[in-house]
Structure 1
Amino acid sequence: MEVRQEAGESEAQLADIIQMVRDTVMRRWLLLLVVFAAVAVLGIVAVQFLPVSYTSTAKVRIDPSLNPLATKSADGKAELTPEAIDTEVASVQSPTIARAIVRQFHLDRDPEFAKALQGGGPGLTTASDRESVLAAALLKKLNVSREKLTYILDISFTSADPIKAAKFANAFAQGYIDAKTGNKAGTAERQSQWFERRLKELADDARNADAQVADYRAKAGIVESDGGGANGSTIVDQQITPLAGSLAQAQADAAAARSDLDAARTQMAHGSRDSVGVVLNSATVQALRSQRSDIVRNLGEIQVRYGEKHPETLRVRDQLAAVDAQLQNETRRVISALTATAASTQARVASLRESMGQLETRRAGDTRNAVIAEGLEREATAKRALYDRMSQMALDSMQAARVSLAQAQIVEVAQAPSRPTSPNKPLFYVAALVLGLIAGGATIAVQELMSGTLRSAEDADRTLGLTMLAAIPKVAKGVNPADLLITEPTSFFSESLRIVRAAVLGVRGQAAPKVIALTSALPSEGKSTTALAFARTLAIANAKTLLIECDVRRAVMQRMVKGAPPRVGLVEVIHGDAQLDEAILPGDVPGLDQLLVVSRYFSSEDLFGGGAMENLLNTLRGRYDHIVLDLPPLMGLADGRFLAVLADATIMVVKWDETPASAASSAVNWLRADGSNPIGMVYSMVGQGAESVGGLYYYSRKYAEYYRSA
């Protein structure tokens, strides 16, 4: 269950990140496009000035069957290890071959390579030094690699001239073949001679090692095991095994004899001798006991018949006494026999144990000798194995010395390429486009992080401590947003103002604010337009509403409403120069009246702080259901703060993604410090790309079917 919950949270976080990225791109797509185009164009132009180079490749096949150091696979075929192939690759890149090509083609006169000699200083005075420098420059343009898992080497050379690229690739391939053909026979012959000398030394070492092992075994008394091989046993090992068996048997016999003797003694100590088990088992004792039983039975009959003193009775008693004497003698004899048996078996155990101790002492010395013998045997075995391996290598070397064919051959000659291999312009073009996209994304990401503006319900709650009442969308240029309430009553814009109305008036049973002020932190945040649209929304909902324009320094409301401009307005009413009913004019929707400013008014007087405005509002409260005040901005002007205190509720209008968070936060703090009642904030001019930012979900495409434009 926890795993499923964590997975759901991860998916939600990923969805939030994707939505945030999409919203950022939609808000700042123009900057993204400009940076992308600039970087991409610069990259494409830079690609046009990259130097052009050509690469040509020659292919050389290595024949492992002709290589003297090739190994045999399981099926008997010759094969080369990866290390051996790497050796061949290094051979192609040999400085010796490169120096030969430098001399062959006189590269000290070739401008492409001669520039490597420029700036070399006094160290390039000899021809050898110059050749080394040119050879190094030549090898920098060479690349040798194995073609997959084959025995084919790709020898590639890169040059600004396609003809040179093919020429030098073929030159390195031919130089490698020549070097292998010229050096092979002499190298194999020298190897053969060396193998012969080495084999003779190894043969002598192996014979000496075998002789040493045999001598030592003979002196130490170590005999070969039945299976042969390196391991063997000593004479003591062969003697000690049967002796150990005899000792174990003797100990068992001695233990049994002691047990019988101890049992007999115990029985004799606690009863008559007739009860001793060993005595009872004696055939003689059994016969005497049977005879005694007959005599006792006969004695009883005679005593009954003749009496105690009758001669026959006395004679039978004498017979009984003689039998008892024989039983006692036989019992003593059996006990003596047990004692003798126990003593003899114990003596045999002691003798065997002494013999075993002597053999163990000798065995300890023999063990050390056996270890030494085994070491000598291993050394001899290693020398024989080395001799066998070296013998096989010598045979292979002698066979290679008799082979006159080359170990490699050119299977494909390098051709001059028809088109350059570098730079790969299509790839660089794609890289330029990707780099431009990355640069554009990074630019808008940095700008987004440094913006410091408000864009979501979370921003409003976290920064201002206010609830976001609604988000009013941005409309097309040239359209008066407030007029959409009349021309398009079911549009996004109209619905957002109805949401503001629902949020401000609250649910049934709560007292709705009568005087509602709308203000902003800075100018040009859509405050006046929102105030007019909100007043129209209240009037359309059958509430008698009055819109009072309090932003006297701008006086823009008369340009936003329909009808003839007023002759007198709010300033004249406060000064007492005009009657209130004369200044109030009907609005452009039923139920809406307007008290506007005739012209821009600049004065140092406290127009709204003397009590006149408060008295005016008290007079109007009884005539209207709602009074909407269009206040001036709070930053830099004092009028708005005086007027906000007189209202029942104040709404902050914040321009989405443009008003600095610090300015909006300061304005709200001033309202709270003055004792005003800021009940929430409204985002104005929200971009169409903000459909999933914060609490703006009702403004999503998901609700497209709920809205309809006229």
Structure 2
Amino acid sequence: MTQNVARVADPRIAEVFAIARDTLHRRWLTLALVALAVLVAGTAFVMTLPPKYAATTRVRIDPSRNPLATRSADGRAELTTEAIETEVSAIRALPVALEVVQKLGLDNDPEFAGTLKNAGAAARTNTTARQTAIANGVLGHLDVAREKLTYLIDVKFTSSSGQKSAAIADAFASTYIERRLTGKASTAERQSEWFSRRLAELAVETREADQRVAEFRGANGITESSAANSGSGTVLDQQVAPLASSLSLAESEAAGARSALNAAQGQMQRGGIGSVAAVLSSEVVTQLRAQRALVVQNMAEVQARYGDRHPETLRVREQLAGIDAQIQAEARRVVSSLQANAAAAGARAESLKSSLSNIETQRARDARNSVLAESLEREAAAKRAQYDRMSQLSLDSMQAARVSLAPAEIVDNAEPPAGPTSPNRPLLLVLTLIVALAAGTVTIAVQEALSGGLTSVEDIEREYGLPVVAAVPKVGKTENPADLMLDEPTSFYAEALRIGRAAVMGVRAGSAPQVVALTSALPAEGKSTTALAFARTLAIAGSKTILVECDVRRAVMQNMTRSPRPKVGIVEVLHGDASVDEAIMTGDVPNLDVLLQPTRFFSSENLFGEHAMDALMRDLRGRYEHIVLDLPPLLGLADGRFLAILADATIVVVKWNDTSRGAVSSAINFLRTDGSRPVGIMLSMVDPASASAGALNYYSNKYSDYYQNYRS
């Protein structure tokens, strides 16, 4: 499978190289001119670049002396990447550059005076503004960078003088160190003064914080231990547990009493007060009921003995009523007792709940006061810690003010370079050459993309469905291509027309078309020249041939042939003003006659669409073996379409790498729609060295021994 893919890909790669070679051959002059122009301009620019000298001073940063340093796990001072980049920016700071300018007097140096042109009028009249503008210009020549992951910083300065570049690089390094040292001492002194003022303020704030803590504790009765423990273990806490237990018991008893009372009230509603369980279980009620039972028994005997109205019976009844009254009174007392018990239990529970709530409120207030006390204590402690820290910083600052050690040092002073470091002219010249070739290549590529012409036989045949019958090479501008048939009969051009004749007429004369029309999509495609050469080719091959010029609006054929100038032409014949014999003239090769148009003819009439042209063609068919018609272009003119349907075969002449695809497509569609018989495409003015013609590349160098080469 891999081998098959390679076989398919190889021809495509070859086609790409062939297209590139053809494009280069056609447009080599454009490539050469563009590349030469860019090369000359680039070379001139490179050669005029002034030499530059770069000198480098190396500075080492000491982390132990840098205020931006941090401490590692083992206690060593370290600088982060951000801290080192801060030092790099400090070296490139404008104040450092201003000091260097003032030290070395660079504001009068011609090399940097050019920066004043864009600095405004103030830089020319004000010394400070002038030095600032010069300093900005000097910074444009400065390059400061860290060496990999070390604490070394390279201070490189580029100038037109090696001595100057070294001096300025050293000046930047030394000025940076001096400013850092001076700034460090000045900063330490200012810090010391600020620390002293701040310490006095903190002392007052610390005393005030301690006083607020003491006053708050005294006002709220908070001791240090209770504040520290947040109120745990106090008398209030000891009272909470018993009260909570008593409240739980009281609430349980109150609930039981309310339940008994509710039950009694329900029983009274259903069966009266005598049905209440508490009443029934009362000993007094039980005794009274026993007495009542005896009285009821006695009353029954008395009634039976004495009757209802006897005094004894009345007495017993009164006794029974008295016992019932006692039972009712006792029942009411029992129910009242239940009500009293329920009310007492509820009141006791509410009392305990109120007491517990008061204790909880007091505990919450004490807790808040304790928290506030702790907050005040922490604030006071923070003030004391801040005072201690500030005191230590003040001590360190005073020590730093007395120490004069620089946070950086120069490791290597800059040395004047032996030769210029830039520009690298050999490299720039090579790059200029590459850019020049690239510019030329891009130019011809754009020209090729914008041309839109046809160059490949395979593309033409695949797109239009017509074979390419011949590829006629381009000849010199001062020569008439059709005359090569006479002057150079063995040239590439003549052989191309013979190949076209073989393709259209075939190798057997019996099947050849008699009337062959040559047309094109647009003017100036070499159609008339090709028609004349094609007619000469047929005549030279021994066929009696006539060339009929139908492109009467141009009438250029008389200037191409070597025949005498005609007096009448096809227009006069079609109008009936002259006979065919009067218009036909002998051509410039044996077996060739021509019917030309002496003058240009313009008319809105349908000259070729009437029966006169049909009659003329019938007459000529009877006289000649082959008739070659030179038709007008098909796009923009109607004459060619009327004439093409009279031909047995129509050849479309296409200018190689010039005629647009759309124009060719429209012309061929016209012929097919009208019922004409297009048999092929003939490429005109093909580059002789191009390989785009594929199999028709008979004029390539491989065939140089077969032809007498025509040299334009």
**Counterparts in 2 of 1:514 and 1:134: CA distance versus 1, 3 Å:** closer
**Counterparts in 2 of 1:23 and 1:472: CA distance versus 1, 3 Å:** farther
Match of 1:483 in 2: 495
The answer to whether the 8 A contact 1:467-1:679 is kept is no
The separation in 1 between residues aligned to 2:235 and 2:544, in whole angstroms, is 128
Q: 1:469 aligns to what SS in structure 2?
A: coil
Match of 1:597 in 2: 594
Cα distance, 1:166 vs structure 2: 0.7
The answer to whether the 8 A contact 1:473-1:687 is kept is no
The answer to whether the 8 A contact 2:471-2:682 is kept is no
The separation in 2 between residues aligned to 1:534 and 1:258, in whole angstroms, is 138
The answer to whether the 8 A contact 1:225-1:233 is kept is no
The answer to whether the 8 A contact 1:515-1:648 is kept is yes
Matching of residues 246-257 of structure 1 within 5 Å? 253=252, 257=256
Measured against aligned partners, the alpha-carbon deviations of 1:74-107 in whole angstroms (never above 9, x if no partner) come to 3322123556545544554566655665565455
The separation in 2 between residues aligned to 1:31 and 1:700, in whole angstroms, is 25
Q: 2:166 aligns to what SS in structure 1?
A: helix
Measured against aligned partners, the alpha-carbon deviations of 1:402-460 in whole angstroms (never above 9, x if no partner) come to 54543221111111112323334456446545654665466557656765767899x99
Cα distance, 1:57 vs structure 2: 1.0
The separation in 2 between residues aligned to 1:350 and 1:622, in whole angstroms, is 144
Under a length normalisation based on structure 1, what TM-score does the superposition of the two structures give? 0.59
Does residue 1:469 correspond to 2:466, yes or no? Answer: yes
Match of 2:70 in 1: 71
**Counterparts in 2 of 1:683 and 1:413: CA distance versus 1, 3 Å:** farther
The separation in 2 between residues aligned to 1:334 and 1:20, in whole angstroms, is 130
The separation in 2 between residues aligned to 1:634 and 1:77, in whole angstroms, is 93
Q: 2:549 aligns to what SS in structure 1?
A: coil
The answer to whether the 8 A contact 1:521-1:663 is kept is yes
**Counterparts in 2 of 1:652 and 1:576: CA distance versus 1, 3 Å:** closer
Cα distance, 1:631 vs structure 2: 2.5
The separation in 1 between residues aligned to 2:338 and 2:18, in whole angstroms, is 107
Q: 1:614 aligns to what SS in structure 2?
A: helix
**Counterparts in 2 of 1:632 and 1:76: CA distance versus 1, 3 Å:** same
The answer to whether the 8 A contact 2:123-2:133 is kept is no
Equivalent AA in structure 1 for residue 47 of structure 2: Q
Cα distance, 1:120 vs structure 2: 9.2
Cα distance, 1:154 vs structure 2: 1.9
**Counterparts in 2 of 1:603 and 1:407: CA distance versus 1, 3 Å:** closer
**Counterparts in 2 of 1:67 and 1:547: CA distance versus 1, 3 Å:** same
The sequence identity of aligned pairs, in percent, is: 46
Match of 1:550 in 2: 548
The separation in 2 between residues aligned to 1:611 and 1:167, in whole angstroms, is 102
Moved more, 208-217 or 93-102: 93-102
The separation in 1 between residues aligned to 2:246 and 2:501, in whole angstroms, is 115
Under a length normalisation based on structure 2, what TM-score does the superposition of the two structures give? 0.59
The separation in 2 between residues aligned to 1:689 and 1:258, in whole angstroms, is 129
Q: 2:519 aligns to what SS in structure 1?
A: strand
**Counterparts in 2 of 1:660 and 1:82: CA distance versus 1, 3 Å:** closer
Equivalent AA in structure 1 for residue 466 of structure 2: L
Cα distance, 1:156 vs structure 2: 2.0
The answer to whether the 8 A contact 1:515-1:626 is kept is yes
The answer to whether the 8 A contact 2:60-2:152 is kept is yes
Match of 1:208 in 2: 208
The separation in 2 between residues aligned to 1:556 and 1:443, in whole angstroms, is 41
Match of 2:40 in 1: 41
The separation in 1 between residues aligned to 2:247 and 2:649, in whole angstroms, is 112
**Counterparts in 2 of 1:64 and 1:332: CA distance versus 1, 3 Å:** farther
The separation in 2 between residues aligned to 1:263 and 1:23, in whole angstroms, is 119
Match of 1:655 in 2: 655
**Counterparts in 2 of 1:384 and 1:143: CA distance versus 1, 3 Å:** farther
Match of 1:169 in 2: 169
The separation in 1 between residues aligned to 2:336 and 2:159, in whole angstroms, is 117
The separation in 2 between residues aligned to 1:25 and 1:533, in whole angstroms, is 28
Q: CA RMSD in A?
A: 6.8
The answer to whether the 8 A contact 2:535-2:628 is kept is yes
Matching of residues 96-115 of structure 1 within 5 Å? 101=100, 104-107=103-106, 110-112=109-111
**Counterparts in 2 of 1:647 and 1:407: CA distance versus 1, 3 Å:** same
Matching of residues 350-365 of structure 1 within 5 Å? 350-351=350-351, 354=354
Cα distance, 1:58 vs structure 2: 0.2
**Counterparts in 2 of 1:130 and 1:38: CA distance versus 1, 3 Å:** closer
Q: 1:550 aligns to what SS in structure 2?
A: strand
Q: 2:73 aligns to what SS in structure 1?
A: coil
Matching of residues 189-268 of structure 1 within 5 Å? 191-213=191-213, 215-216=215-216, 219=219, 253=252, 257=256
The separation in 2 between residues aligned to 1:248 and 1:20, in whole angstroms, is 110
**Counterparts in 2 of 1:476 and 1:533: CA distance versus 1, 3 Å:** closer
Equivalent AA in structure 1 for residue 407 of structure 2: Q
The answer to whether the 8 A contact 1:192-1:394 is kept is yes
The separation in 2 between residues aligned to 1:598 and 1:184, in whole angstroms, is 108
Cα distance, 1:73 vs structure 2: 2.9
Measured against aligned partners, the alpha-carbon deviations of 1:235-264 in whole angstroms (never above 9, x if no partner) come to 999699869976995798489749965996
Measured against aligned partners, the alpha-carbon deviations of 1:183-207 in whole angstroms (never above 9, x if no partner) come to 6556545544543443343244234
The answer to whether the 8 A contact 2:547-2:629 is kept is yes
The answer to whether the 8 A contact 1:101-1:171 is kept is yes
The separation in 1 between residues aligned to 2:216 and 2:146, in whole angstroms, is 55
Match of 1:414 in 2: 414
Does residue 1:60 correspond to 2:72, yes or no? Answer: no
Measured against aligned partners, the alpha-carbon deviations of 1:127-166 in whole angstroms (never above 9, x if no partner) come to 8777666656555543434334432222222221101111
**Counterparts in 2 of 1:208 and 1:130: CA distance versus 1, 3 Å:** same
Equivalent AA in structure 1 for residue 495 of structure 2: D
Equivalenced residue count is 593
Match of 1:152 in 2: 152
**Counterparts in 2 of 1:418 and 1:269: CA distance versus 1, 3 Å:** farther
**Counterparts in 2 of 1:385 and 1:126: CA distance versus 1, 3 Å:** same
The separation in 2 between residues aligned to 1:514 and 1:334, in whole angstroms, is 150
The separation in 1 between residues aligned to 2:394 and 2:682, in whole angstroms, is 93
The answer to whether the 8 A contact 1:47-1:425 is kept is yes
The answer to whether the 8 A contact 2:470-2:681 is kept is no
The separation in 2 between residues aligned to 1:41 and 1:244, in whole angstroms, is 110
**Counterparts in 2 of 1:129 and 1:649: CA distance versus 1, 3 Å:** closer
The separation in 2 between residues aligned to 1:385 and 1:335, in whole angstroms, is 74
Q: 1:684 aligns to what SS in structure 2?
A: strand
The answer to whether the 8 A contact 2:474-2:685 is kept is no
The separation in 2 between residues aligned to 1:24 and 1:386, in whole angstroms, is 87
Equivalent AA in structure 1 for residue 581 of structure 2: D
The answer to whether the 8 A contact 1:234-1:366 is kept is no
Measured against aligned partners, the alpha-carbon deviations of 1:541-598 in whole angstroms (never above 9, x if no partner) come to xxxx9976433655599999xxx99xxxx97999442999x999999xxxxxx97537
Equivalent AA in structure 2 for residue 158 of structure 1: T
Cα distance, 1:63 vs structure 2: 0.8
Q: 2:409 aligns to what SS in structure 1?
A: strand
| 2:581 aligned residue (566, 569, 577) | 577
Q: 2:208 aligns to what SS in structure 1?
A: helix
Cα distance, 1:484 vs structure 2: 4.9
**Counterparts in 2 of 1:205 and 1:408: CA distance versus 1, 3 Å:** same
The answer to whether the 8 A contact 1:516-1:626 is kept is yes
The separation in 2 between residues aligned to 1:136 and 1:471, in whole angstroms, is 71
Equivalent AA in structure 1 for residue 519 of structure 2: T
Point out where structure 2 has 5 or more consecutive residues left out of the alignment. 1-12, 287-330, 476-490, 507-511, 707-712
**Counterparts in 2 of 1:599 and 1:621: CA distance versus 1, 3 Å:** closer
Does residue 1:397 correspond to 2:397, yes or no? Answer: yes
